[in-house]
């Protein structure tokens, strides 16, 4: 079975004879930690404004259907 490795042939890579000189290849890991950058200050749940607006809409819809049911049966 003749399969080729997806890795580059070490004989073709730069610096293969005496090792890789410093600065030629990227570091194996990032130098920054996972906690860098701005803090995530998002809160869970909804804000008070949208909840109040939705509550008003629900109450108005319920009042409409109750009024409609009362006027149709009278």
Could you list the residue range(s) of the whole structural domain that residue 56 is in? 47-74
| Residue 73: inside a domain | yes
| Residue 68: inside a domain | yes
C-beta atoms surrounding 68 within 10 Å: 10
Output 72 or 67, whichever has higher pLDDT. 67
pLDDT tens string 18-40: 555 666 665 566 555 666 667 77
CA distance 57 to 61: 6
pTM above 0.85, yes or no: no
| Residue 18: inside a domain | no
Task: Tell me the three-class secondary structure of 38-52, residue by residue.
Answer: CCCCCCCCCCHHHHH
| Residue 60: inside a domain | yes
| Residue 12: inside a domain | no
Output 15 or 6, whichever has higher pLDDT. 6
| Residue 67: inside a domain | yes
Average pLDDT of the residues in 4-22: 61
Query: What pLDDT is stored for residue 55 in this prediction?
Result: 97
Q: How many domains does the chain have?
A: 1
| Residue 59: inside a domain | yes
């Amino acid at each position: 079975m003749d399969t080729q490795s997806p890795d580059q042939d070490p004989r073709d890579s730069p610096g293969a004879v005496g090792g890789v000189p410093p600065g030629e290849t990227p570091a194996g890991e990032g130098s920054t930690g996972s906690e860098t950058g701005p803090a995530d200050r998002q809160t869970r749940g909804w804000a008070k404004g949208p909840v109040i607006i939705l509550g008003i809409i629900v109450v108005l819809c319920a009042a409409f259907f109750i009024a409609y049911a009362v006027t149709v049966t009278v």
